[in-house]
Every structure is written in C-alpha cells, then in structure tokens.
Amino acid sequence: MQRLPPNQRLKTDFPVLHFGKVPEFDKKTWDFRVEGLVEKTIRLTYDEFLALEKTVDVSDFHCVTGWSRFDNKWEGVRFRDIAKLVKPKSNARFATIEAEGGYSTSLPLAELMGPDVLFAYNFDDKPLEPMHGGPLRLVVPKKYAYKCAKWVRKVVFTEEQEFGFWEQRGYSDSADPWKEERYSY
Ligand SMILES: Nc1nc2c(c(=O)[nH]1)N[C@H]1C(S)=C(S)[C@@H](COP(=O)(O)O)O[C@H]1N2
Ligand SMILES: [Mo]
C-alpha cells in the first residue's frame, strides 16, 4: 500500500511550522478545560492531565504544504478518554480545539473518537518540545496537520461546527490527505 499521500514529499527531519510565536509554558497557571455540551465540565492542571490514562500511538504526519514524516511516536491521552470524563450531551456533534494565541481547529466527534487521536505531551519518549506544541498538542493522523493544534488549552463540544483558524482562511475542513483535500473551494 502507498504510504505517502498524493503530492507529498517525505522528510526525515521534523520541520517546525506555525503562525505566531511559541507561547511560554507556566505550569502554575496552565490548565486544560473542557466545556460546552457536556454533562460535566472539567478543568485540569498539568499534573492532573499527566495522571490521566495514557496511550502511545505511532503515526504519520502530513502537512498541507507538502511534507510528510513517518513513524512519529506520540504519547498522551486519547480524545475519547477525555470525552468519557465529561460525557458529551446527545446533541453534541463537533468539538472545537482551542490553543494559546487564538489558534483553533474543529472536527466531528465521529473523527475525534478514533483510537489514534491523542492530546500528546511526549514525543519519542521525551517531553514534547515547545516548538512542536509542548506542553500539549492534538494529533489527528488521518488529517492534514493543521488539525493537529499545538499548545492546546481548551475543548468545546458543540452542536454546529465552529470553523478553525486555517479553515476560515480557505483550507479544507475535511482535510483528508489521501483525497488531497487541501483547499475549501
Ligand atoms: N497553535 C498552532 N498549532 C498549529 C499550527 C499553528 O499555526 N498554531 N500550525 C499547524 C500546521 S499547518 C502544521 S503543519 C503543524 C506543524 O507542526 P510541527 O511544527 O510540530 O511540525 O502544526 C499545526 N498546529
Ligand atoms: Mo501545515
């Protein structure tokens, strides 16, 4: 099976790509909040987040600008395990993932519930570097990497979809690298 999606080039280094600057991480003030259409909202400190049930997943990474990187070893908490804690209401169909500095992305819950979707804090058995989204980033291997928000702080469950930073700027919302869904026109 072809492992490189159409019109992607393989990279063995790990490029750094984001809008704006790398935010400071202050463990004393950092929190992770889950809100919106849930039975129970939560607010976790960094240590509380690290104490949640964790998962390791190795996956490939595809940036919409044309590079891909294979076999990335992420460790963190599955989106579905976070969902279990907050119990989404029956009308919740999407979640918006909000990051430091105004970045966001959103996805249908059906896609976020996949076993490979993680809020990752370790990469290659080491704490995730700030430039790659540390202390916490979303990883959604089946999508172009603009869905993999770095520096995540909040998840909001919604009934209607709220479009994210790049999705509002002409990038595809479905973002499937195998169908080469790069732009929204
Ligand atoms: N907060 C935030 N997350 C972000 C971005 C960003 O601009 N801000 N860029 C996205 C894009 S387009 C890519 S390709 C990946 C890059 O991740 P990397 O720098 O770890 O390679 O981060 C994604 N997550
Ligand atoms: Mo990207």
- Residues measured by CB to lie within 5 Å of ligand 2, the ion: 63-64, 145-146
pLDDT at 40 over 80: yes
Question: Which residue, judged by its Cα, is nearest atom 21 of ligand 1?
Answer: 16
Cβ proximity of 96 and 44 under 8 Å: no
Q: Does domain 29-169 have CATH number 3.40.50.1110?
A: no
Cβ proximity of 78 and 115 under 8 Å: yes
Ligand 1 pocket test, candidate residues 143, 146, 152, 155, most atoms within 8 A of CB: 146
Strands 67-78 and 118-123: antiparallel
Q: What is the pLDDT of residues 143-173, one digit of tens each?
A: 999 999 999 999 999 999 999 999 999 999 9
Q: Write down the pLDDT at residue 83.
A: 98
Nearest to 147 by CA among 125, 123, 124, 114: 114
Give the Cα separation of 43 and 33 in Å (integer): 4
How confident is residue 77, by pLDDT bands cut at 50, 70 and 90? very high
Dihedral sign for Cα 75, 84, 148, 43, please: negative
Every domain of the chain and the residues it spans = 29-169
Two structure tokens written together for 57? 């997943």
Question: Which residue, judged by its Cα, is nearest atom 11 of ligand 1?
Answer: 146
